[in-house]
Amino acid sequence: MKKGLKGIACVILSAGQSRRMGTHKALLKFNENLRFIDRIIEVYKNFGITEVIVVAGESLKNELNVASDVKIVTNQHPEFERFYSVKLACEALSREVELCFLQNCDNPFVNEELLENMINLPEESDCAVPVYMNQGGHPVLINKTIIEYIQSIDGKNSNLKDILSKFRTMKIITNDETVKININSPEEYEKYFINK
């Protein structure tokens, strides 16, 4: 485990209603020992990030059973879509946070090598996005300028992609196709975890 990376946080977005999957994606098994949520938290903590926030819906928060140092933020309005969760999380970040990873719970493939490639955000960039075959993926890394902007705007009618397009983005070219994979349906889960 790396020494704690001060000023860097991770937000795990897990407040969706998982209609296509039919069950909470955060609770899906990644392997025999870990659920998706456990695997994601483990990667970020092993990387050295000590401030981890999970945004969860009301029906999921009591089932998470994550470590006590992981902060749970409840999204009471999943109908407001993903950006509302991002806003709630940004409002819950400690003041020292200068950089924050935004991580979807349905992409449990994040790894330390990818985080290492993203973390050195130059001053002339406000966010970093991994790019595979000319397509942006996840996680997204945002700086304090974007965090403060998100804190200041309405969370009900905003779209993260539109907001990020206003800021200076550094593309992190990667050969890791998993940055594009989201597990949204039983068929996708079976493809990557049962028939692997």
Domain ranges of the chain: 8-194
The CA distances from residue 122 to 44, 125, 155, 159, in Å, are: 21, 6, 28, 25
pLDDT in tens, 99-109: 999 999 999 99
Write down the H helix ranges in 131-176. 144-152, 160-164
**CATH for 8-194?**
3.90.550.10
pLDDT in tens, 8-60: 999 999 987 667 676 789 999 999 999 999 999 999 999 999 999 999 988 78
Q: How confident is the model at residue 155 (pLDDT cuts 50, 70, 90)?
A: confident
Please spell the DSSP secondary structure of 3-15, one letter per residue. Answer: PP-TTEEEEEEE-
Which three-class secondary structure state does DSSP give residue 193? Answer: helix
- pTM over 0.75, yes/no: yes
- Give me the phi and psi of 23, to 5 degrees please: -155, 160
